[in-house]
C-alpha cells in the first residue's frame, strides 16, 4: 500500500511548502515574466533575426516597386530615384549579412561584441532607409491613384453636365457653340 518513504517524502514536501511565505509567489511570477521578456527582447534584437526581417522587408518593397512601375510612370524620375535607393539598400543588406556571417569567426569576445554592435548600428540605419523607401513608393502609388480618381470624377461631371446642360458640354465647346447661356435683358 503506502510505503514509509513515500509518506516521508510527501510530508517533507508539505513541510517545505508550508515554510515558504505566501508573499514569495508574486515575486517568482514577476521574475519568470521578467526573464522571459529579456530572453524575447534579446532574441528579437539579435542581428541575425533583424537581417532576416530586413530580407522579408526587401521582398515586400520589391512587390511595391513592381506595382509602382505598373501604375506610376508619370513620375518616372521619382520612381527611378526610389528604385536606385532601394537597390543600394538591398546591396548594403547583402554586405551586412556577409559581415554577420564572418563575425562568427572573429577571435576574442571583445572583438566579437564590437563587430556585433557595429552591425547593429548599420542594421538600424538600413531599417530606416527601407522604411523611407517603402513610404515614398506607397506615397507615389497613392498619388497616382488620386490622380486617376480625380480624372474619373472630372469625366463623370462632364458627362453629367453634358446630359443636364447640353450647351455647357465639351462637345458644344469643340463645335464652337456658346458655352454660357445668353441672358436677355
Q: Which domain holds residue 94?
A: 47-155
State residue 173's pLDDT score.
52
Mean pLDDT by 10 residues, the chain (185 residues): 63 68 72 84 82 92 91 86 92 90 80 83 92 92 91 84 62 52 46
> Do the domain assignments include residue 95?
yes
Please report whether residue 72 resides in a domain: yes
Cβ 100 vs Cβ 51: under 8 Å? yes
- Count how many domains the chain has: 1
pLDDT at 95: 92
In a domain, 61, yes or no: yes
Domain contains 182: no
Tell me the pLDDT tens digit for each residue of 2-21: 566 666 667 776 677 666 66
Does any domain span residue 140?
A: yes
CA distances from 185 to 3, 50, 177, 179, 181 (A): 121, 78, 21, 18, 13
Residue 75 belongs to a domain? yes
d(CA 45, CA 165) in angstroms, rounded, equals 65
Predicted pLDDT of residue 89: 92
Phi and psi torsions of 23, nearest 5°: -80, -5
Q: What is the structure's pLDDT at 60? A: 94
| Residue 84: CA count within 13 A, CB half-sphere | 6
What confidence score (pLDDT) does residue 183 get?
44
- The answer to the question of residue 88 being in a domain is yes
Given a contact cutoff of 8 angstroms between Cβ atoms, the answer to whether 68 and 136 are in contact is no
Q: Where are the alpha helices (DSSP H) in the chain?
A: 4-19, 24-44, 47-71, 76-103, 109-164, 170-175
In this predicted structure, what is the pLDDT of residue 64?
A: 92
For residue 62, what pLDDT is reported?
93
Residue 81: inside a domain: yes
Amino acid at each position: 500500500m503506502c510505503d514509509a518513504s513515500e509518506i516521508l517524502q510527501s510530508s517533507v514536501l508539505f513541510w517545505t511548502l508550508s515554510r515558504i511565505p505566501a508573499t514569495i509567489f508574486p515575486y517568482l511570477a514577476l521574475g519568470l515574466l521578467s526573464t522571459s521578456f529579456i530572453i524575447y527582447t534579446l532574441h528579437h534584437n539579435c542581428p541575425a533575426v533583424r537581417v532576416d526581417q530586413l530580407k522579408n522587408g526587401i521582398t515586400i518593397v520589391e512587390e511595391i516597386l513592381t506595382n509602382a512601375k505598373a501604375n506610376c510612370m508619370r513620375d518616372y524620375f521619382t520612381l527611378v530615384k526610389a528604385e536606385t535607393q532601394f537597390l543600394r539598400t538591398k546591396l548594403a543588406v547583402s554586405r551586412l549579412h556577409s559581415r554577420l556571417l564572418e563575425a562568427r569567426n572573429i577571435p576574442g569576445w571583445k572583438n566579437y561584441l564590437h563587430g556585433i554592435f557595429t552591425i547593429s548600428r548599420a542594421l538600424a540605419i538600413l531599417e530606416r532607409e527601407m522604411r523611407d523607401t517603402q513610404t515614398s513608393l506607397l506615397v507615389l502609388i497613392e498619388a497616382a491613384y488620386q490622380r486617376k480618381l480625380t480624372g474619373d470624377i472630372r469625366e463623370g461631371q462632364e458627362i453629367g453636365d453634358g446630359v443636364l446642360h447640353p450647351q455647357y458640354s465639351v462637345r458644344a465647346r469643340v463645335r464652337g457653340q456658346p458655352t454660357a447661356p445668353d441672358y436677355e435683358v
